[in-house]
Amino acid sequence: MPLRTAFLDRIRAAVRDTVDDRLSWDALLAPTDDRAIFAAQAGRTREQRMVLLGRLMEQAAPLNLQVHACATLAEAAECIAALARAGEPEFHDRKSLILHEHPLLRALPLDARPELAGIPCHWTSVDDPRGRDHTLAAFVGITVADWGIAESATLVQLTRPGRPRSTSLVPSIHIALLPLPHLVADLAEAYALIRRAPGSDSLVLISGPSKTADIEACMVLGAHGPRAVHLIVLTGPSLAAGPGFPVARTSRRGY
Any contact of residue 217 with other proteins (CB under 8 A)?
yes
Which of 25, 86 has the CB closer to other proteins?
A: 25
Any contact of residue 6 with other proteins (CB under 8 A)?
yes
Which of 27, 117 has the CB closer to other proteins?
A: 27
CA 142/CA 204 separation, integer angstroms = 15
Any contact of residue 54 with other proteins (CB under 8 A)?
no
What is the maximum span of the chain, computed from C-alpha positions, in angstroms?
A: 72
Q: Which stretch binds other proteins (CB under 8 A): 70-78, 79-87, 164-172, 247-255?
A: 164-172
Q: Which stretch binds other proteins (CB under 8 A): 109-117, 222-230, 232-240, 244-252?
A: 222-230
Which of 112, 126 has the CB closer to other proteins?
A: 126
User: Which residues within the stretch 55-84 sit at the binding site for other proteins (CB under 8 A)?
Assistant: 59, 63
CA 106/CA 1 separation, integer angstroms = 48
Any contact of residue 209 with other proteins (CB under 8 A)?
yes
Q: Can you give the C-alpha Rg of the chain in angstroms?
A: 21
Any contact of residue 206 with other proteins (CB under 8 A)?
yes
Write out the H or E segment, with its range, that includes residue 217: none
Cβ 184 to other proteins, closest distance in Å? 13
Q: Which stretch binds other proteins (CB under 8 A): 79-87, 104-112, 205-213, 247-255?
A: 205-213
Other CB atoms within 10 Å distance of the CB of residue 68: 19
For residues 164 and 247, the answer to whether their CB atoms sit within 8 Å is no
The torsion region of residue 244 among left (phi > 0), alpha (psi -120 to 50) and beta comes to left
Site string for other proteins, 123-162 (x = CB under 8 A): -xxx-x--xx--xx--------------xx-x----xxxx
Pick the binder of other proteins from 195, 238, 247, 255 (CB under 8 A).
195
Tell how far CA 247 is from the center of its chain. 15
Site string for other proteins, 89-118 (x = CB under 8 A): --x---------------------------
Which phi and psi angles does 223 have, rounded to 5°?
-80, -65
Cβ 30 to other proteins, closest distance in Å? 8
- The 10 Å CB-count burial string (b at 16+, else e) for 189-207 is bbbbbbebbeeeeeeeebe
Other CB atoms within 10 Å distance of the CB of residue 232: 25
Cβ 129 to other proteins, closest distance in Å? 10
User: Which residues within the stretch 233-252 sit at the binding site for other proteins (CB under 8 A)?
Assistant: none
CA 88/CA 190 separation, integer angstroms = 34
